[in-house]
Structure 1
Amino acid sequence: MQIFSALVETNSVSLVAEKLHISQPSVSIQLKNLCEQLNTELYVVNNRKVHITEAGYAVYQATLGIANTFEDLHIRLDAFNGLNAGKLRIAVVSTAQYFMPKLLSAFCRKYPNIDVQLTINNRQTVLKRYMENLDDFYVLSHWPENLEAEKIPFVDNELVVMASDTHELTRQPHISLNRLQHYPFIMREQGSGTRMSIDMFCQQHNLKLKERMTIESNGAIKLFVAEGLGLAILSRSTLDHSNVPGLTTLDVDQFPITNQWFLVRKTGRNLSLLAETFEAFAKLNVNRLLSSSQ
C-alpha cells in the first residue's frame, strides 16, 4: 500500500522505485499483487503513462488513513514519555508564509523532536491538497461555501495600499478612494484570496482600478512597486516582514480591508495527538506571538 500511495503521488513506476529505493520489477510485482488481493483494477497504463482509476483513488484515501493511524499509534505510545515524535503537515497559501514561521518556530522549540512538513502554494493548490486529504491543517482566507470543513478563525488579515516611498501620493496626508483610480496597479492573479478581497471591495465601493500588471507572487509585486511601476494592495504582513527597501503604506479612505485567516482541517479526519496539540497551541498563542513580532 505504501508503494501504491507513491504511485498515485508520482504517476511513475520508475519514480516509485527511485523514491523507495527498490527495483522497478519489485514495484510492478507488488502493485500487481495488491490489485489481485483487492480484485480491483487500481490503475491503467496507457502509452507508458499511469492513470489511477476511481477505485484506485478510494484505496489511496484509505491508505492515507491507515498510515495516519499507525503514525498516531506511534505518537501516542511515545507520548507516555512526552510528545517526542511525529510529523505535522500544514499547507498554507503564499501570503501566510509571512506569519507562520513565528508560530511554528515557537511550537518546535516546545516540542523539539517533532517534524514539520510545511507546503506553501497558491490557493487552488492548497484547496486541491485539502480535497486529497494530504495535510493536518490548511491556512487560507475566503473558504469556499460549498466545501465542508472545520474552520477555526485564526489571524486577522489586513490589506493595505502600498507604494514606492518616492511616489507622489506619499506626500498626501490622506487619500480618497476616487484618487486611486488615476494610478496604475500591480495586482495578484484571479483566484487568489487577496484578489478576491480586492474585487469584492471594489464592487462594494464602485471602484475601478487600472490594472497595469498581474503577478502571482507577493515578493515580485513588491519589487515592481518599489521600482515605481504602480501601486499594489497586499497583506500588511507582507510589508511588516519585507526585505524589499523603498516601500511605504498609504493612508487611504476605507483601508485597510480586513478579512480573516482560517486554520482549516478536514471534516471527519482523525487528528493525531501531535495535530491536536498544535491546534490547542495555535489557538492559545498565535495572537500573542504575532503581536510580539511587530
Structure 2
Amino acid sequence: DDELESLKGEVRGPLQLSVVTTGKYFMPHLLGHFLQEHPGVEPHLKFTNRARVMERLMENRDDFVVMGQIPDDKRLVAYPFLENILGVVAPAGHPLADRRNLEIEEVLRERFITREPGSGTRLVLDRLLESRHLEVEPYMELGSSEAIKQAVLAGIGVAVLSLHAIRLEQATGKLSVLDVKGFPLRRRWYAVHLKGKRLSLVASTFLDFILSESHRVLDR
C-alpha cells in the first residue's frame, strides 16, 4: 500500500516515531501542523527515555527517532532541525533569581535536581561539569523533565532543563531562568535513522517538514 501511495504521490499511511521524553513539549505541535496538511497520515508516536530510544533506533523499529544527544556511530545519519537551549531553572522568588553572572559552583550548592544518569540532559550537564573539574551531588534524581519541573515549581530545588519544557511557566512568571556563567547551553535536536535506510514517502515528507518548518511553527 505504501508503494502504491508513493506512486500516486499521496502522503498517507503510517508514521512511526520514537522521541526522548523532553520532545513531548514540541513534537505534538509539529505533528499537529503536519497532519493539518496531510490528514491521511496515521501517526504512532512513542515517548521514552534515551536508552530505549537508542535501542529502538539500532533495531530499526521506527521510521526515525528524535533525540538531543547522538552517539558517535558511523552507522547513523542525523539531521539537526531545532535548537535545544538548556538553562538553570529555579522557582519564582528564589534568592538567586535576581543575581547576575552566578558561578556554577554557587548554583551547585543549592538543592540540585537532575535526570537519571544516561539521560541526554544529564549527559550534557556531566560533560560540562567534568570540563571544569566539578561534579554534581544530586539532591534528587527524577526520570523525566516534567517530574523535575514540578519539583522545581514546588520549591524543592533548582535544575537544568530544556527551555522547551518551561515555556508556559517562564511566560507566566512561575519559574525563573538563572543567570549563570556558561549558560544557557545551546544544543540541537536531531532526527536520526540508520544509514542506508529507505524512508517511506510519509516519513521523508515529515522529515522535510520538521527540517524546514520547526522554527516557524514553534515560534508562533
| TM-score normalised by the chain length of structure 2 | 0.92
Give 1:43-62 correspondences, 5 Å limit.
Answer: none
Unaligned runs of 5+ in 1: 1-70
- Higher share of residues assigned helix: 1
Higher relative contact order by CA 8 Å / sep ≥ 6: 1 or 2?
2
Cα deviation, residue 99, structure 1: 1.1
The AA in structure 2 aligned to 1:285 is: E
Counterpart CA distance in 2 for 1:168 and 1:205 is 25
The answer to whether 1:142 aligns with 2:72 is no
1:164-191, CA deviations, whole angstroms, 9 ceiling, x for partnerless residues? 1131111323422231132120100000
Match of 2:113 in 1: 186
Greater shift in the superposed pair: 252-261 or 239-248: 239-248
The AA in structure 2 aligned to 1:167 is: H
**1:183–1:210: 8 Å Cα contact kept in structure 2?**
no
The AA in structure 1 aligned to 2:214 is: V
Q: CA RMSD in A?
A: 1.9
Match of 1:234 in 2: 161
**2:100–2:180: 8 Å Cα contact kept in structure 1?**
no
Cα deviation, residue 200, structure 1: 0.5
Structure 1 residues 101 and 241 mapped into 2: Cα distance closer, same or farther (>3 Å)?
farther
Within the candidate set 144, 160, 164, 2:91 is matched to 164
Q: Tell me, what secondary structure is at the counterpart of 2:5?
A: helix
Counterpart CA distance in 1 for 2:49 and 2:150 is 19
Counterpart CA distance in 1 for 2:195 and 2:118 is 23
Aligned pairs, number? 219
The answer to whether 1:259 aligns with 2:187 is yes
The AA in structure 1 aligned to 2:3 is: L
- Higher share of residues assigned strand: 2
Q: Tell me, what secondary structure is at the counterpart of 1:210?
A: coil
Within the candidate set 65, 73, 77, 2:3 is matched to 73
Structure 1 residues 136 and 91 mapped into 2: Cα distance closer, same or farther (>3 Å)?
same
The answer to whether 1:128 aligns with 2:55 is yes
Match of 1:197 in 2: 124
Match of 2:218 in 1: 290
Structure with greater Cα Rg = 1
Counterpart CA distance in 1 for 2:143 and 2:136 is 18
Counterpart CA distance in 2 for 1:224 and 1:282 is 31
Unaligned runs of 5+ in 2: none
Q: Give the fraction of aligned pairs with identical amino acids, expressed as a percent.
A: 35
Counterpart CA distance in 2 for 1:226 and 1:282 is 31
The answer to whether 1:268 aligns with 2:193 is no
The AA in structure 2 aligned to 1:142 is: Q
Counterpart CA distance in 2 for 1:89 and 1:74 is 19
Structure 1 stretches of 4+ moved >6 Å:
none
Match of 2:133 in 1: 206
